[in-house]
Structure formats: C-alpha cells, structure tokens
Amino acid sequence: MLNRRDFMKLGLGACLLPAVGCSRAEAVVSETMYVFGTLVGVDVLASDKAAARAAIADVSHAFTRQNRDWHAWKPGALGDLNRAIAAGRTHEVDDDLLPLLHQARDLARASGGLFNPAIGRLVGLWGFHNDEMPVGTPPHADAVAELVAAAPSMDDLVFDGSRVGSRNPQVQLDLGGHAKGVALNQALDRLATRGYADALVNLGGNLAVSGTRGGRPWRIGVRHPQGGHSDLRHSQNGGAIASLEVSGRMAVVTSGTYERYRQHGDRRYPHIIDPRSGQPATHVVSATVLHPDAARADVAATALVVAGAEAWPEVARSMGVSEVMLVDEAGRVQLTPGMAAKLEFVAPPASVTTVEIA
C-alpha cells in the first residue's frame, strides 16, 4: 500500500488525474513498482488483465536491468566504462548502452553543453552520487574550479565501433538527465510490440503516453514546484499547478530543483549542476517539456533549468522543443504558445508570460 509520501513522490513532476471513458470490454490495468530510485506506475488499456500484467512485468524487468546497467554510481555497464576511462583504457560497450552514448552526445551538442553527462565527477563532488540526500558544507571552491577547468564533455568520447574511450580522463558519465527518458520511450515501445497501443508510464513524475484512455485523452496534472502552497494543498488535483490533456505519443517531463538537493543550514543546493560554473542551478525552480520523444524532453528540461529564466528560449529552439513551461524562483511562470494552448491552470499564478521561441 502506498502512503501519502509515496503518492506525492510518484507525482513530483506530473501525475495521472481521474478520467472516464474506457469501454466495457477494456479497463485500465495498473501496476506500481520501485525502480530508478523512485516509484514507477504503468497503466495499459486492456481486455485481458492477466496478459496486460504480464506485459507490464516485462517492462518492469527491463527497468530493473536498465537501472543496473545505466546507474551512475553503482556496479554496472556504465560504471565499468567509467572505470576504464579513468584508467585511460577503451572499453567494449553493449548494444543497450552504446546508442544512449551516441544520443547523449548529440543532445549535449544541441543544448550548447548545458546538458553535459560527462560531469559525473562534479555531480559526485557535490554529494549526489549517493542514495541519501547529502548534508553539510558544500565542496571547496578550488575543488569545483579544478573540475570545471578540466572541461569534460561528451565530445571527449572516442567511438571505435562498440569500443569507447575518452581523450579526457576527467570524463565521468552520469546519464541521470537522459536515461529515464530513454527508459520511458523503450517502455512504450515494449508495450506496443505486445499490442498495447494505449498506455501511460509514470517514472517518478515524468510521464509518457501512447494512444488514448478509452477514446479520451490522458489527463495529466503538473505538480506545483512548491506543492505545499496553501491554495493548492487541499485541491482535488493534489497540489497540481496545472492540468493538460495529451494523446498519441507524447511525453510530459519536468526537471526541478525542489526535489533533490544538498542541505547546509538554511541553504539548499539543488542537484542540477551548471557545467559552466560547477555550481547548482538556482534561478529556475522547474521546467516542464512536452515532446513525442521522452529522451529529448528529459534532456531539454534539464538544459532549460540550467539556461535560466532569460536564456531558455534560445536553448529550446536549438533543442527543437516548442511546448515548454518554466517556473522561476519568484514563482513567475513563462509559457510557450504551444504549451499555453494545452495547459489549464488549477489556480492562476501571480505572473504568467507567454514567450515566442519560433
């Protein structure tokens, strides 16, 4: 049974809101699991519940394998590659991880380097390569500056078929801003191959949907970054800032600075690190991106948080995302026209600005 804390964790970015419209022959079959360090929910529209649960179990097994192989700081395929890079060696990479590395390099370039999975050493220095949230004094400025000066990037990787190395031994790969989006894509693909064209996968508040919910759009709630605000705390939407309806193949991904952070006294240092400074990104509280490709949406959301409240439109253009919502540290909301057309606020924010990015 999920307690309230677990339910809220499942919906940190977005959540499935109540909806109607399934046919009598079909019903939504739902399963919940814990993987990738968070709660994961899978819903499929099906007439055969036992077959649907078997398909969801297949997705769950894939998630478990991906979590092991793509984990940034636990034993697995990515850890093996990182150890080889640190030792100056090349390493044979399997067919599951290799495409992620190529895609991560391409998306890092599209983001102008604001998404940089090669800065795993910086992420670890700040204490975010641990299951528990770090506390205490932040790392010394000299240690941060040294890693920034080393300038690790995805362009340092050298590909020779399935063997991968790096020209820069300071590269340490952390796919945390990308792998979950890939996992969402692959989960929907896996369900589709089993005949389930109408599905929703909620990976810790980042969602991807396909098809419809019984002929109606999937109705999604986007959680308020400060979900405890008094005007939303007791709302029927469970602290959502807005809701939207999506159908077809679409991902709704939120990257935020409010969920994971380093606590030192009264100061919080968010887990999203700006590769340019080595410091946590602080001026944008959350970025929500809609896009058919969950991996691109995942990366873009992270890059937009790093870009900040003024520079994000240029990054959105370069990454090819046009449906975006940003909330800054003052609670001001910025929307693209595409997002504004789909989104309905639960309670109007104090400041909402529509920003053209085309």
For residue 150, the domain's CATH number is 1.10.3980.10
The reported pLDDT for the residue numbered 36 is 85
**323 to 68, 137, 175: CA distances (angstroms):** 32, 38, 23
pLDDT at 178 over 60: yes
**Band of the pLDDT at 8, cuts 50, 70, 90?**
very low
Q: Report pLDDT digits (tens) over 290-321.
A: 999 999 999 999 999 999 999 999 999 999 99
How crowded is residue 162: how many other Cβ atoms within 10 Å of its Cβ?
Answer: 12
Q: What is the mean pLDDT of residues 267-296?
A: 95
Determine the structural domain holding residue 97 and report its residue range: 77-166
Q: Is 242 inside any structural domain?
A: no
State the DSSP code for 18.
Answer: P
The reported pLDDT for the residue numbered 226 is 61
Report the interhelical angle of 294-319 vs 97-110 (nearest 10°).
20
The reported pLDDT for the residue numbered 159 is 98
Q: Is 125 inside any structural domain?
A: yes
Q: Is 133 inside any structural domain?
A: yes
DSSP SS3 for 47: coil
Token pair 């959680």 in the structure block, residue? 223
Q: What is the mean pLDDT of residues 23-39?
A: 84
Contact 100, 71 (CB under 8 A): no
**C-alpha–C-alpha distance, residues 307 and 315, integer Å:** 7
pLDDT at 351 over 60: yes
pLDDT at 5 over 90: no
Q: Is 144 inside any structural domain?
A: yes
- Report which residue type is found at 36: F
Contact 61, 69 (CB under 8 A): no
Contact 63, 187 (CB under 8 A): yes
The reported pLDDT for the residue numbered 237 is 43
Q: How many domains does the chain have?
A: 1
Q: Is 150 inside any structural domain?
A: yes
Q: Is 60 inside any structural domain?
A: no
**C-alpha–C-alpha distance, residues 116 and 106, integer Å:** 11
Q: Is 87 inside any structural domain?
A: yes
Write the burial class of residue 65 (CB in 10 Å: 0-12 exposed, 13-18 middle, 19+ buried): middle
Q: What is the mean pLDDT of residues 339-352?
A: 91
Q: What are phi and psi of 75, to 5 degrees?
A: -60, 135
- pTM > 0.85: yes or no: yes
**104 to 64, 108, 125, 269: CA distances (angstroms):** 21, 6, 22, 25
Q: Is 158 inside any structural domain?
A: yes
Q: What percentage of the chain exceeds 90 in pLDDT?
A: 77
- The candidate with the shortest Cα–Cα distance to 244, out of 351, 353, 336, is 336
How crowded is residue 92: how many other Cβ atoms within 10 Å of its Cβ?
Answer: 13
**145 to 130, 278, 302, 308: CA distances (angstroms):** 22, 7, 22, 21
- The candidate with the shortest Cα–Cα distance to 226, out of 208, 239, 209, is 239
Q: Report pLDDT digits (tens) over 87-146.
A: 999 999 999 999 999 999 999 999 999 999 999 999 999 999 988 889 999 999 999 999
State the DSSP code for 217.
Answer: P
**Band of the pLDDT at 15, cuts 50, 70, 90?**
low
The CA-to-CA distance between both ends of the chain, in Å, stands at 46
**Tokens at residue 129, please?**
């390569």
- Please give the residue that has the higher pLDDT: either 7 or 266: 266
Q: What are phi and psi of 245, to 5 degrees?
A: -115, 130
Q: Report pLDDT digits (tens) over 235-251.
A: 334 578 899 999 999 99
**C-alpha–C-alpha distance, residues 326 and 242, integer Å:** 12
Q: Which helix (H) or strand (E) holds 92?
A: strand 91-92
